[in-house]
């Protein structure tokens, strides 16, 4: 855990003294949500928006709907406990919906880019990842970062279904507008220039 903390401090420590607007797509148990709350929400106007259905997603053969209801409830309860125990629980806003539904509501209110950091860890199906990437780019400020959590994730049976192909396609299409700042199991990109979708 300490090594994990050091890596995130190294990559995003520069954000600690800023009024950060952070979006997390896919929160599950809330470990990453808690890290954001503990480390990047110190300033008065900082916000973390957490989006998840807590219903599972297409990459799992066994959907959450097929497991015991108590298990689903336990996952969501664990998320809520992580937020409650975090440093800034009142600055965390939870949106229980799909990422698409979240963005539809978001863009009806926000006409300009809003977020400084977006963490993409929702559905791992490439077709959903590319949609999350495009909508994230549109809502991200110039100079902001998108983290693709499971860039190298390979549990889907076919290459075309995996996150990597979507992230590569996104980076290729927006090569004049983004810069890769980290590439490993996760990929982090920085938005360098606006592009009006």
pTM more than 0.85: yes
pLDDT digits (tens, 9 = 90+) for 98-119: 999 999 999 999 999 999 999 9
pLDDT, position 70: 55
Query: What pLDDT is stored for residue 2 in this prediction?
Result: 63
Read off the pLDDT of each residue in 180-196 and give the average, rounded to a whole number.
95
pLDDT band at 62 (very low <50, low <70, confident <90, very high): very low
- The conformation of residue 18, written as its DSSP 8-state character, comes to S
pLDDT at 7: 84
Architecture field, domain 2-191:
3-Layer(aba) Sandwich (3.40)
Reported as a pLDDT band with limits 50, 70 and 90, residue 68 is low
* Distances from the Cα of 121 to the Cα of 54, 110, 111, 159, 194, angstroms: 13, 22, 24, 18, 23
Tens of pLDDT, residues 9-40 = 888 888 988 999 999 999 999 999 999 999 99
Res. 4 pLDDT band, cuts 50 70 90: low
Closest to 134 measured CA to CA, from 48, 56, 196, 193: 196
**Three-class SS of residue 62?**
coil
| Residue pLDDT, tens place only, 103-161 | 999 999 999 999 999 999 999 999 999 999 999 999 999 999 999 999 998 887 788 89
Check whether 67 has a pLDDT greater than 90. no
Residue 40 to residue 18: CA distance in whole angstroms: 8
The 3-class SS string of 86-126 reads CCCHHHEEEEECCHHHHHHHHHHHCCCCCEEEEEECCCCCH
Mean pLDDT score across all residues of the chain: 90
Q: Which of 155, 151, 161 is nearest to 128 (CA)?
A: 161
């Amino acid at each position: 855990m300490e090594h994990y903390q050091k890596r995130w401090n190294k990559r995003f420590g520069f954000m600690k003294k800023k009024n950060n607007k952070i979006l997390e797509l896919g929160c599950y148990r809330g470990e990453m949500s808690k890290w954001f709350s503990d480390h990047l929400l110190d300033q008065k106007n900082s916000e973390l928006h957490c989006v998840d259905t807590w219903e599972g997603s297409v990459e799992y053969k066994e959907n959450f709907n097929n497991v015991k209801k108590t298990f689903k409830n336990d996952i969501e309860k664990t998320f809520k406990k992580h937020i409650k125990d975090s440093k800034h629980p009142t600055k965390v806003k939870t949106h229980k919906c799909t990422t698409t539904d979240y963005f539809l509501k978001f863009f009806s209110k926000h006409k300009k880019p809003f977020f400084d950091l977006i963490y993409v860890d929702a559905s791992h199906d490439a077709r959903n990842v590319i949609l999350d990437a495009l909508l994230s780019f549109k809502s991200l400020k110039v100079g902001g970062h998108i983290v693709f959590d499971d860039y190298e994730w390979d549990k889907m049976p076919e290459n075309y279904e995996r996150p990597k192909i979507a992230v590569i396609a996104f980076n290729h299409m927006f090569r004049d507008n983004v810069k890769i700042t980290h590439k490993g199991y996760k990929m982090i990109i920085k938005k360098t220039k606006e592009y009006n979708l």
